A and B are shown apart, each in its own frame.
Chain A
Amino acid sequence: MSNYLLEVEHLQKHFPVRGSSFRSKLAVQALDDLTFGIKKGETLGMVGESGCGKTTAGRTILRLHEPTGGRIVYDGDILFDKEEKIAVNMLPYRKKMQIVFQDPYASLDPRMTVGDIVGEPIDIHNLCSSKQERYDRIIGLLERVGLNSEHANRYPHEFSGGQRQRVGIARALAVDPEFIVCDEPISALDVSIQAQVINMFEDLQNQMNLTYLFIAHDLSVVKHISDRIVVMYLGRMVELAESYELTMHSMHPYTRSLVSAIPIADPVEARKSNRIILEGDVPSPINPPSGCRFRTRCPYADEQCAAEVPEFREVTSGHYVACHHLDRVK
């Protein structure tokens, strides 16, 4: 396990529901029992529909949300451990672990110039000794993400969505991090820009030897960029495997329906494919279904699924699934 850069074990994040103090403690169970590792230089994709806890997972790993349970280990250092009551000061780790946010419109302070937005992390972590060095570094970062020096004195509202996301990426890169959580970095962008930004993420990874946790709800994008993919449903992991393995030999009924929804460019092929359409809506995370959380929408569900939480187990080498009825699904 030691070859992992980041490891999380049984990570949990429950948000208390306000105004519910009279009843037994209600909580939005946004994230439960998240356990995985990311190797150095790897890209782990994370997919799932909206509200499944992907964003919460990303933020909780960076402790932008304080976890309510579990353990986070980064490069051998324990950042958080509920049982041992460890919660270290994150400041030195903010230099190593960064995040690119989903919404490039809201995540940049509208009162600061782009130069200051990118420069602020440099100041916080005292990375430059002189003004000239700081300026050169900012310009270098902007150029690295496809912007140029004259953009430094402008404000975020003067940029397009794609350019703003580049600013957000430059900001994340400003501290020369090792690990970046990409929290749906392209979902707010035009399709024409998405490919550019995805390619930029890949180039940056090669140049700077970065490790990514790449969160998205679009499986075809995640498949393209990721080495391995984890599929989330209602705050829990349902399947984790190598990219190719997961899309070609998906086992969990939920993953299969996601994979079947990837658009196929060839209309003849597309007509032949069997789309699995799920019935119903995602249940409330305040009161999730007992046992397997997917059972309310699963065509294979039975009493066992309601009674027991399926174990997240390794079925074939490196391929983990949480399902009671794998034999039947096949």
Chain B
Amino acid sequence: MSAGPYTADEMMTVTAARQLADGAVCFVGIGLPSAACNLARRTHAPELVLIYESGTVGARPQVLPLSIGDGELAETAACVVSLPEVFAHYLQRGRVDVGFLSAAQIDRHGNLNTTVIGSYARPSVRLPGSGGAPEIAAHAREVLVIMKQSPRSFVPRLDFLTSCGYLGGAGERSRAGFPGGGPRAVITDFGILRPHPQTEELQLRAIYPGVTLDAVRAATGWPLRVAHDLQVLPAPQPADLDTLRALHAATRQAHAAAVRINLRTADAPASHPH
């Protein structure tokens, strides 16, 4: 079946969604991870449990949230707990199967930077910071990373270590005692990288149709290792693309809606000046 034209972003999101098993408990970051998780929930994984760090457990949003704490998440959740509770009782206690993250920089061992470009004291670009990522990276049974691949994002050395992947590789993470297994896959706009079983260095395991090895190497800031059995992934299914596009269209419409607030309490003559 032909999928027709599709973008690298769509291929990346569809590929990331396919990495999620039905019934898994997934701690979701906003943006690309949230799009992939909600596509998975609408296609092959209807029982995927989504936890957002705002404390919404089992959220089933109809449109993609713009922020991690949109009302849509709370209204569709099985329950809403406090932030200390979601990090302590769900994540730290070991109840999360998959942590789904993105970053500005990643190194060859899957360590992530979301803090600064340049020096910490005087950064050239101050990024948003850690949020929940360091603990998600530590505790989730496995981590999926989704991010666009370029020499600026796939770097030989991070400007700042925000969230731990395999540290220096070759077992350093497990020797440090991390309960979670670390990044199982890095999904990019070129294909999928996975850690080598011994060295834990990310290697290219799959590419999208039409992607060349030279292009992937040029988008990687270190000498990229390629698996012997490199796979070429199939183009996205038309049904997946339709579902993803409908989700984005509904989201754009919802986020553009005008907000009206009723000030009747303030306007009532007997009430307070505010």
Interaction A to B? no
